[in-house]
Structure 1
Amino acid sequence: MGQASVKIRVYSIQCAESVRLLSSQALEMPACEYEPPPYKGPDYNHIRQVRGSLLNPALLTNFSSPLLIYDGYMQWLFDHTGKRYLDLFGGIVTISIGHCHPKVVAAATEQINRLWHTTNIYLHPKVHEYAERLTQTLPGDLKVVYFVNSGSDANDLAMMMARLYTKNFDLVSLRNSYHGASPYTSGLTASNTWKYNFANGFGIHHAANPDPYNGLWGGHRDSPVQSVRASESELVDGVCSSAEKYVRQLEEICMYSIPKKKLAGFFAESIQGVGGTVQFPLGYLKKAFELVRSNGGVCISDEVQTGFGRTGEHFWGFEGHDVIPDIVTMAKGIGNGFPLAAVVTTPDIAKTMTGALHFNTFGGNPISSAVGLSVLEVIEEEKIQQNSLEVGTYFLQKLAKLREDYTIVGDVRGKGLMIGIEMVQDKTNQTPLNPQTMMDIWDACRDLGVILGRGGLYGTVFRIKPPMCITHADVDFTIAVLQHVLDETTKTL
């Protein structure tokens, strides 16, 4: 699974000595059926100079010494020296089925040779084929799709839809959430890491984050690995007692901060992504949706990171909460790295957008539609969702053992291949691991061939959201790398 169906020259890369010798064992990085061509681009130092002087100075660069990535294949990335890395962050949860998947490359190539762009003032076949196929994956009355270009675009549009449909203004999202960085969505996003000091967020409120690990009341979550604070709550008929307490916090916002029964909408990620793979207590989202609707609002599920089978058991993350939202936003994995996003809603809500002209120049263009359609086909043909469940569960169970064995591993959580590892200085009070130690671990894993992401308010959660084609062998390699690095780290603490 996850290997291309086309014949490619077998490539055996010589790993660094440190990769082959971990924990006094000879351990090889899993094999890869691909040979990248030699790098012929600009010099590494010149690229860093351009980056520092000509590009956005706010651009984040991972690791203490930035990687120069120039080639990718399935779950693998290659730097300018030819070194191979196991990509466990998937372009920030964007590569859903594998870098340069041959079927997607073929679909894009065929379309680009036929028709690049007309905009949707004309008919072209691909956007209509894709709309049919995409809406078939969604439950209930979620049948009208608006194609846009990014997750921020999608959430911008969903905010406008909610306000137009309800004729209300106030919106609620959760603290620690991330819904975009545009001027409009930055108000929804509730983490100071992403906040600029300018007027934004008018009419937006942030409810208490229902976090079973760092929150006020602990809780049980939908994960193969439970929070160490699960015992602080009770689980009755699949509903966690702390869910009701967090819903009460949401209710207080409706009671004290919003005109009576005049809520426009509520935004929630099925599992918080940028915030550090935070899951909610069992039953929270269902109760929250009921409360929102009773106060006049619509429910918006941000599936930018959790959609397209990533959580394993379901195609859409919200399905794991036993809810059907009124609006769904999606991006990232929808195009496997190609700029593509969408908003899907009900016919009734969609009608409100006919009060004026609405248009997106590149939304649903022929190339993105062909790419999106091929991604859906690969997910089905290669059983990507099933792999996410099976390999993800195996991964979580292996990581749970690390939590038992190392004092600096505070929490392991997630579902499918949406996984987080929260690193701590002190397990008793969940003090975040100091930044230098966190960076040292991150760099060491990278040097040994494993690329991890980071998230959470303090950047102390390792985010594992790889291409969903990874294998059990990839997991075993990752665990060996983590064990080696954590062993070395704990010697110096």
Structure 2
Amino acid sequence: MQNYLGPEGVLAKRKQYFYPCTSHFYRNPPQLVKGEMQYLYGHDGTCYTDFFAGVSVVAGGHCNPEIVKRTAEQLGTLQHTCTIYLTQPNVELAERLAGVLPGELSRTFFVNSGSEANEGALLLARLHTGRKGFLALEQGLHGRTHLTMSVTGLRMWRSDPQLAELGADADVTFIPRPYERGMNADEAARRSIDALKAVLAEKGGDIAAMIVEPIQGNGGIIVPPDWYFPEVKALLEQYGVLLIADEIQTGFGRTGRMFAMDRWGVTPDIVTMAKALGSGVPVAAFASTDAIAASFTRPSASTFGGNPVSSVTALAVLDYIEAHHLPERAERLGGLLLAGLKDVAARYPHVVSEVRGAGLMIGAELCADDAERGALMADDVLEEMKDRGFIIGKNGVGRNVLAFQPPLVITEDDIAEMLVALERSLDAVHEARGGKDNGVRP
């Protein structure tokens, strides 16, 4: 066995050398040292079935040999050049993306991260329209840069204290998301549409774009009614406002389609992507049409964007997604997972308030009427599940939503075993808690 630091040693070094904003899951976290498809391994050899995929990243599985082989070959051939030089992998990737992106989106700008992709998309919208303003949904999350943080409606991720109060920034207008606890889905979506109409009537001529997550991830796995985004797109078009689809969590098969907007037959003007595209290797991009991309003529480059290693990896990911029919697999297995979680919710109505999602992107909200208690219970459930060999996530406005976003190579047996472990964990938490709170981490 390698000379691992162990969890205590890693925590000590993090405390000494990391910024204090860097938190972690679990009261007793494992040190993860190895991954194989849907499995992760701790330094002590403990195996965990991963139901979070590094926050929707490793759609094709950890260290997938079909992908890693091609990454390693490229790493030993040509590791880096910038876009100021000619290489083949990034143009092949751009061509490949044009074949899977919706509508006439065929131009791609490569960057390193989702934040950069959204930043670039927002800039592109301003350049194309000549307008400055943006629309965004409350409780959305779009990144860590200043502009992407400005259009982020989830307060916990608006880290910059100099940002204007939510709703007070003249350049960014937030409208209600198509969801509200206690309101039926159509009513909540209609409220959002009415707010959109009012904003467009007042200042539509000043707004460059509306940025949305097709399914809000960190906001709690929020899926709108089927009619919502088609109506949003039609309204935006009346005012010449672009629609930016932030597909960073939802893209590449996660929701049962290659892109989540495909579920509703909506073609955005700009799509941003990251996470699953590289299956663990940093690669991201924003894509648009010929006409919109033609507006971006000022000099720009990304030092590492579209580098040969990332590009070859992304091509291997796309090959694997196609060969193994991962979107269709996510739709089928997601249906099983959703039904299983709803069965659990029916047996634990005092704890699990709601289950929602699409494909293999599903959330189970705990104690929705008392989010603080739900957040404490979510932490307890994560701890119990980890001790039983399962990694799940958490998100939501109150951090009280259990998140199930596994690698898309997960199996029916994995799902069945996880559901059994979840029931046992809920039993253990309910029995042990006895109304007491044990603390909560971000």
User: TM range, normalised to the smaller chain?
Assistant: over 0.9
Secondary structure, aligned partner of 2:409 = coil
**Cα root mean square deviation, aligned:** 1.6
1:295 aligned partner: 239
1:130 aligns with 2:93: yes
| Corresponding position: 1:455 with 2:370 | no
- Deviation of the 1:242 alpha carbon: 4.8
Provide TM-score, normalisation by structure 2. Answer: 0.93
- Quick check: 1:262–1:295 contact (8 Å CA) kept in 2? no
- Per the alignment, residue 177 of structure 2 pairs with 209
Question: Residue in 2 aligned with 1:247?
Answer: 193
1:298 is aligned with what amino acid?
Answer: L
1:91 matched to 2:37: no
User: Equivalent residue of 1:86, what SS?
Assistant: strand
Does the Cα contact within 8 Å between 1:335 and 1:372 map onto a contact in 2?
yes
Residue 139 of structure 2 aligns to a residue whose secondary structure is coil
Does 2:11 align with 1:48? yes
Q: Distance in 2 between matches of 1:125 and 1:434?
A: 50
Unaligned runs of 5+ in 1: 1-37, 220-239
- Once residues 91 and 12 of structure 2 are traced to their aligned partners in structure 1, the CA distance between those partners, rounded to angstroms, is 45
Pair 1:168–1:461, CA change in 2 (3 A): same
Change (3 A) 1:251 1:269: same
2:412 to 472, 479, 486: 472
Question: Greater Rg, structure 1 or structure 2?
Answer: 1
Contact 2:247–2:271 (8 Å) recurs in 1: yes
Question: What letter matches 1:290 in structure 2?
Answer: A
Aligned AA (1:449): G
CA distance in 2, matches of 1:39, 1:172: 51
1:139-186 CA deviation, whole Å, 9 max, x = no partner? 221000001000000000001011111111110110010001112210
Distance of aligned partners of 1:244 and 1:45 in 2 relative to their CA distance in 1, 3 Å threshold: closer
Which residue matches 1:218?
Answer: 184
Q: Distance between the aligned counterparts of 1:394 and 1:434, measured in 2?
A: 25
**Alpha carbons 1:268, 1:300 under 8 Å: kept:** yes
* Displacement after TM superposition at 1:268 (Å): 0.8
Q: Are 2:129 and 1:183 equivalent residues in the alignment?
A: no
* 1:157 aligns to 2:120 (yes or no): yes
Match 1:375 to one of 313, 317, 323:
317
Q: Tell me how far apart the structure 1 counterparts of residues 59 and 378 of structure 2 sit (CA, whole Å).
A: 27
Correspondences of 1:248-287 after superposition (within 5 Å):
248-256=194-202, 258=203, 260-287=204-231
Tell me, in whole angstroms, the C-alpha distance in 2 between the residues paired with 1:376 and 1:181. Answer: 27
Tell me the equivalent position of 2:79.
Answer: 116
Are the counterparts in 1 of residues 131 and 208 from structure 2 also a CA contact under 8 Å?
yes
Specify which of 118, 143, 146 is matched with residue 106 of structure 2.
143
- Where does residue 20 of structure 1 map in the other structure? none
CA distance in 2, matches of 1:403, 1:153: 38
- Contact kept, 8 Å, 2:125 with 2:208, in 1: the verdict is yes
Unpaired segments of 5 or more residues in structure 2? 436-442
- 1:43 Cα deviation after fit: 4.2
- The answer to which of 147-156 and 379-388 deviates more is 379-388
Question: Which is richer in helix?
Answer: 2
Which residue of 1 is the match for residue 301 of structure 2?
359
Q: Does 2:313 align with 1:350?
A: no
Is the Cα–Cα contact under 8 Å of residues 98 and 469 in structure 1 kept in the other structure?
Answer: yes
**1: distance between equivalents of 2:370 and 2:377?**
16
**Quick one: which of 30, 34, 43 aligns to 1:71?**
34
Letter in 1 for 2:409: C
What SS does structure 2 have at the residue aligned with 1:344? Answer: strand
Aligned partner of residue 433 in structure 1, secondary structure: helix
Q: Report if aligned partners of 1:214, 1:430 keep a CA contact under 8 Å in 2.
A: no
Is the contact between residue 31 and residue 43 of structure 2 (CA under 8 Å) also seen in structure 1? yes
Amino acid at match of 2:48: Y
Instruction: Give SS of 2:367's match.
Output: strand
Contact 2:7 2:29 in 1 (8 A): no
Deviation for aligned residue 1:241: 5.8
Give 1:484 deviation, angstroms: 0.8
Deviation at 1:194, TM superposition (A): 0.9
Partner of 1:274: helix, strand, or coil? coil
Residue in 2 that maps onto 1:410: 353
Partner of 1:229 in structure 2?
A: none
Q: More deviation in 93-102 or 283-292?
A: 283-292
Counting aligned pairs with the same residue, the percent is: 33
CA distance in 2, matches of 1:384, 1:298: 30
Q: 1:437: how far off?
A: 2.5
Write the letter of the residue equivalent to 1:296. G
Q: Report the TM-score when normalising by structure 1.
A: 0.84
SS, match of residue 352 in structure 1: coil
Structure-1 separation of matches of 2:150 and 2:121: 14
Contact 1:261 1:294 in 2 (8 A): no
Q: Count residues with an aligned counterpart.
A: 427
CA contact (8 A) 1:179 1:189 kept: yes
**Letter matched to residue 133 of structure 2:** D
Which string of whole-angstrom CA distances, capped at 9 and with x for unpartnered residues, describes residues 94-147 of structure 1? 111000000111111110111011211121111111111111001221000001
| Mapped contact 2:60–2:408 kept (Cα < 8 A) | yes
Range that drifts further, 115-124 or 415-424: 115-124
Q: Deviations over 1:319-364 (max 9, x none)?
A: 112210000000000100110001010111111111x111111110
Contact kept? 1:165, 1:349, Cα under 8 Å:
yes
Answer whether contact 1:276 1:420 (CA < 8 A) is retained.
yes
Q: Contact 1:188 / 1:204 at 8 angstroms: preserved in 2?
A: yes
CA distance in 1, matches of 2:7, 2:345: 38
Task: Assess if the C-alpha contact under 8 Å between 1:39 and 1:70 holds in 2.
Answer: no
Whole-angstrom CA distance in 2 between matches of 1:263 and 1:182: 20
Determine the C-alpha separation between the residues in 2 that align with 1:439 and 1:153: 31
Offset, 1:434: 4.0
Q: Deviation per CA, 1:438-463, whole angstroms, max 9, x where unpaired?
A: 22122111110111101011110011
Aligned in 2, Cα 1:434/1:412: closer, same or farther, shift over 3 Å?
Answer: closer
